[in-house]
Amino acid sequence: MQDILTLVQDPAAWVALVTLVVMEIVLGIDNLIFISILTNKLPPESREKARRIGIGLALVMRLGLLGTVAWIVQLTNPIFTVFGHDFSWKDLILIAGGLFLVWKATKEIHHSVDPIDHKDNMVGGAASITFGAAISQILLLDLVFSVDSIITAVGMTPHLPIMVIAVIAAVAVMLLAANPLANFIEKNPTIVMLALAFLLMIGTTLIAEGMGFHVPKGYVYAAMAFSALVEALNMLARNARQRKRQSGH
């Protein structure tokens, strides 16, 4: 209790908390995009439930990992070396998650540009996915993003209460944003392709980081923000043209 009171009175702790909350929310965007795209393939009556379960599992997984901070720190220790580069369990998890994201996003993009091809795509079928399959895929990506998220938190502050508050706040934001984001993606088909491109870039970034190449997250999210701005301008232009046609001018 005394430690918590000390943290409350420490301005540096508040700065660390705010910074970490922002970082966790930004890192959660990747997870949320994947959940939104995947759950939109479910029947409408099951989508919200799947999102809540997926985000709830993300919270449970993050809090569970926080309870094993000492083990999480050890994930960054080298376990073998290839061509002079040390690989840790964290690297292997990032590489596996990145490959999964790249494969899934590529499959879905291929299905989008060639709708006649009904081979396996992101959802294991041309039009739908089972509830269990959606949850299992969300759980797999939750693990990858949770490990990355918690290792980031451990690197930013040594105080467990700050990490717990930041994780809960970030997941709460994800929960609030899940349905609006998914509905927006569903109503704007061109956004789906943009979101898949984001997943492709995120997957490539995870692979690069796992291979030892540091990719500044600021550059990645700046590129995503710029692309989203361009798409927003395109949407405004399309809406303006549509209103013009409807008015008969």
- Over residues 186-223, the pLDDT tens digits come to 777 778 788 888 888 888 988 988 888 887 877 887 88
pLDDT at residue number 51: 92
Q: State pTM to two decimals.
A: 0.72
Among 140, 122, 101, 149, CA closest to 39: 122
Q: Which residues contact 10 (CB under 8 A, 6 or more apart)?
A: none
Please give the radius of gyration of the chain, using alpha carbons only, rounded to the nearest integer.
20
For the cut 60, the answer to whether the pLDDT of residue 60 exceeds it is yes
